[in-house]
Amino acid sequence: MNPALERLKPYPFERLNALKAGIAPRSNAPHVALSIGEPKHDPPPFIVDALADPRRLIAGLGAYPATRGSDALRAAMAAWATRRFELERPLDPATQVLPVSGTREALFSFGQTVLSGRTGSICVMPNPFYQIYEGAALLRGAEPYFLACPAARGFQPDFESVPADVWRACELVYLCSPNNPCGSVLSTAQLWRLIALADEHDFVIAADECYSEIYRDEDAPPPGLLEACARIGRDDYRRCIVFHSLSKRSSVPGLRSGFVAGDAKILERFFLYRTYHGCAMPGHVQEASRLAWQDESHVIENRALYRAKFEAVTPILAKALGCSHPDGAFYYWAATPIDDEAFAQTLFREENITVLPGSYLAREVDGASPGKNRIRMALVAPLAECVDAAERIARFVARL
């Protein structure tokens, strides 16, 4: 067996299930799950219709899908990214875009492609973080370096705090903006600084931008890594790869559809890995995905639904837990008045509401964890459920 498997920690939701095991909620109120970032908005009807079309389904099931996907799908993905990030030079669908079966799969397999496996190699990632980053590093023999995103910095990483010897050994940096779980957004200036560091120390940047279309201000979409590259004339996107998904953008997490884009030389090696990895997108999913990337109206409507929930819930939780409307994504990263595990366990017992302890999404470094005494709450349930849950949480906190 791969000995690196022993270094993997239980997945956050396995730990959460163990924390709740054997507990019978005392409340008769309906259960509300705020723990998992699984969109619950209705998927766009045109995606459902495309998947249900028997002609597309039969065609999709009757052939092995190409690893590169169809020309039409890549063209739709490239055109969307070019529009969204205002790229003067359009992405080349033939060389700068690859479809993937969801960003989770791609973020992991990308680490297996880019990391060398050499002793002493380092993979930098934010802390707190999406646990796939850590798993990808450990299973390729790299050492994770956890870059804290503390409240004192607005949940932003400080690239200048990373020691020079860490940058010299670094082969890959994972970013997440808008951030899961903090909701913070990296500025273009921060992205430029990281690009400069990548040039100086020869590492690759993997920007997880799967929450890029969930943001607070309709007139101020979060900047992306490709956009930052384009603004400094870096049209080859050297050392830079972005990851995008339909899961959050289009509320279709079960479709398992996304894409990676950027440096053509890196993507050609990633394509080689994927021809052996064997995780190609089925043909009927490709066609539904093509339609999704070509439509923006449903994304605007989706964003409005999240905005309405935050506007209704934030005043309630602001008093109880100091929550504020995040700049991006659909999470609250709230401080708790007691230990985060105890808070989550007791809240479930007394109010039948599930939240995720923040310590499950972070690692302790030098005796401190940025997830300690915090919880992540995903505003994915319908508006009425979110408001009801917020009111019950506020009453629960008042009793503590």
The pLDDT tens digits for 228-275 are 999 999 999 999 999 999 999 999 999 999 999 999 999 999 999 999
pLDDT given at position 53? 85
Q: Does domain 3-42+298-399 have CATH number 3.90.1150.10?
A: yes
Contact assessment for residue 361 and residue 128, using Cβ atoms and an 8 Å cutoff: yes
Beta 353-354 vs 32-33: how paired, if at all? parallel
Closest Cα partner for 124 from 164, 152, 181? 164
pLDDT one-digit tens code per residue, 158-212 = 999 999 999 999 999 999 999 999 999 999 999 999 999 999 999 999 999 999 9
- CA separation for the pair 41, 61 (Å, rounded): 27
Q: How far apart are the first and last CA of the chain?
A: 47
For the cut 90, the answer to whether the pLDDT of residue 62 exceeds it is no
**What is the model's pTM?**
0.96
For the cut 90, the answer to whether the pLDDT of residue 59 exceeds it is no
Tokens read off for 42: 């209705």
Task: Name the strand (E) or helix (H) holding 109.
Answer: helix 103-114
Residues paired with residue 375 on neighbouring β-strands, in sequence order:
334, 357
Q: Does domain 64-295 have CATH number 2.40.50.180?
A: no
Contact assessment for residue 317 and residue 310, using Cβ atoms and an 8 Å cutoff: no
Contact assessment for residue 181 and residue 229, using Cβ atoms and an 8 Å cutoff: no
Mean per-residue pLDDT, 54-75: 88
pLDDT one-digit tens code per residue, 268-303 = 999 999 999 888 999 999 999 999 999 999 999 999
- Average pLDDT score, the chain: 96
Q: In terms of pLDDT, which residue wins out, 200 or 62?
A: 200
Domain boundary assignment for the chain: 3-42+298-399, 64-295
pLDDT given at position 278? 85
